[in-house]
Structure 1
Amino acid sequence: MMKGLQRWTDRLISLSTFIGTAGLLVVVGVILVDVIGRNFGRPLYGAQDMVTMTMVLIIFGGMALCDRMDGHIVVDIFEGAFPEGLNRAIDIGSALLGAVIFALIAWAVWNSAQLSQMLNLSTNLLRLPLAWFQYALVVFSGVTVLTLLMRAALLLSGAPRKSPEKNLESEHYV
């Protein structure tokens, strides 16, 4: 069952990362067209709206992948001095704390999205509904919660932990 859940989690991570990547390509295109247009005195109308809203997709779309690849910032000053069991407990605790934080973000943004929908809030120029992007943030936060819970479950089941030293070695820093 754990393998099946991990497979579905990986698929959700891939989907959210794909959407975040597509958002990045959109932002690059919008900025390119806007800069060229400004050079000719014709900036792209609504560029700020598009970039601002698409940043939600970029940042939160990649968050689950960042966790999956252990890409978060780690301060490991005392890790070498702690026993393996304590380091594992800290990793599990940090994954669970991260899941709680992202669940709270999702809950707060869900409430905000409902308000935005009720008040018909939209972006300044293009009138894009804010609720769409807020609901996307809720979904991406949910995927991140699932990823963090999966990491905690794997660590609890005895999966090997990834140490920062191994991550640095695998990056081939010179």
Structure 2
Amino acid sequence: MTSIAFVDAIGRQFRRPVLGASEYVELALLTFFFASLALVVRDDSQIRVGLFADLYKPRLAAIERVFTGVVETLVLIGIAYMIFDQAGRLSRFGTVTYFLKIPVAPWVFGAAVMCVIAVWFGILNLTKLKPQPTPRPHALPEGEN
């Protein structure tokens, strides 16, 4: 993807751009993004922001982890549904890329499948949640309110 963009940028300076370079880059970006989404969910390495997460008691921290995991998985299900729906529309209309005349629907179906794989990893992560995570160093003791 980077090589195509680089060669295309140099070629434009000499009025010889790579034909269809933007489409190659777009399709590669689509593939890499959704493949990496599945890998990020598999490794449970999403970015999470908790304002006062270090101050939670262990029980509240466990509830927050479960709630966050469920919401993340539900959002991934929604995204997968929307992508499958879009792929179906693109297939029905016979949408092709402008320059290369490649059908777009198979690429979007591939993205949807990778999103379903991410959903699967999200569900597996929910089953691996520990009910009592280890307390953080700044967490309030169990007896304090």
Normalising by the smaller structure, the TM-score range is 0.7 to 0.9
1:80 maps to 2:64:
no
Q: Say which structure, 1 or 2, has more relative contact order (CA 8 Å, 6+ apart).
A: 2
Residue 128 of structure 2 is aligned to residue 154 of structure 1 = yes
Structure 1 pair 44/139, CA: closer, same or farther in 2 (3 Å)? same
Matches within 5 A, 1:90-109: 90-109=64-83
Deviation at 1:36, TM superposition (A): 2.6
1:105-150 deviation per Cα after TM superposition (whole angstroms, max 9, x unaligned): 1111112111111111011111121101111111111111111111
Change beyond 3 A, Cα 1:150–1:127: same
Distance 2:119 2:135 in 1: 21
**Unmatched tracts of structure 1, length 5 or more:** 1-26, 166-174
Distance 1:146-1:134 versus aligned 2 partners, 3 A rule? same
Alignment of 1:38-117 (within 5 A): 38-117=12-91
| CA positional deviation for 1:151 | 0.9
Q: Which residue of 2 aligns with 1:28?
A: 2
Tell me how far 1:160 sits from its aligned partner.
Answer: 7.2
Query: What's the offset of the Cα at 1:159?
Result: 7.1
The list of structure 1 runs, each at least 4 consecutive aligned residues, that deviate by more than 6 angstroms after superposition, is 162-165
Distance 1:121 1:144, change over 3 A: same
String of CA shifts for 1:69-99, please: whole Å, max 9, x gaps.
3432221321122112221221122122111
Kept in 2: contact 1:121–1:131 (CA 8 A) = yes
CA RMSD of aligned residues (A): 2.3
Instruction: Name the structure with the higher helix share.
Output: 1
Distance 1:134 1:163, change over 3 A: farther
Ranges in structure 2 where 5+ consecutive residues have no aligned partner: 138-145
Q: Which has the larger radius of gyration?
A: 2
